[in-house]
Amino acid sequence: MPTKPTNVLGRTPRIGLSARFRVEVDGVDLGGWASCKGLSVTFDSEELEVGGNYEHAILLPKRLKYNSITLIRAITPEGTKAVQGWLRSVLDGWVDSYHGDDYTPGTAKITLLDSACKTVVGTWTLRDVYPKSWKGPDLDAESGKIATETLELVHQGFL
């Protein structure tokens, strides 16, 4: 009889499945997506060579660089309506900002779930989120492909 895998404490580990995640932006649930790419950070540094130190260069910290997040999924009536509504609210905020009102960028949350979609395995909260682009489906009556949408988000970090 097969046994469940356990960790060192004898507990069944919570494993996140890359296909089980949800995205929320500014409190708007954008639902599940098929793909999330770009969740990464790069720690830039600069080497400083100091006279008299022949063993190594000194590393000085510079900026953190965060990639944009690209989300892709099949179009659904509810999901696409939520995305379009959020994009419209961002657009309204930008237009109002030209009239003296301050526009504040939002917050996005990417939540990774376990295989049963019941337990949160990981969460990333993105600061100062802006939409970079949205792309709708390529419509072609001869292709028979699934209609997809792509949403690209830029942000100021999640650490």
With beta carbons less than 8 A apart as the criterion, state whether 117 and 20 touch: yes
Taking the C-alpha atoms of residue 57 and residue 49, their distance in angstroms, rounded to an integer, is: 5
Q: Is residue 7 part of a domain?
A: no
pLDDT in tens, 68-86: 999 999 999 999 999 999 9
Q: Is residue 23 part of a domain?
A: yes
Q: Is residue 10 part of a domain?
A: no
The pLDDT of residue 63 is above 80: yes
pLDDT in tens, 121-146: 889 999 999 999 999 999 988 888 99
Q: Please state, rounded to an integer, the average pLDDT across all residues of the chain.
A: 86
Q: Residue 133: which CATH number?
A: 2.30.110
Full residue range of the structural domain in which residue 102 is found: 16-154
Integer distance in angstroms from the first to the last C-alpha of the chain?
Answer: 43
* pTM greater than 0.95: no
Q: Domains in the chain: how many in total?
A: 1
**pLDDT (mean) for 4-14:** 56
Tally of CB atoms within 10 A around 150: 15
pLDDT value of position 3? 53
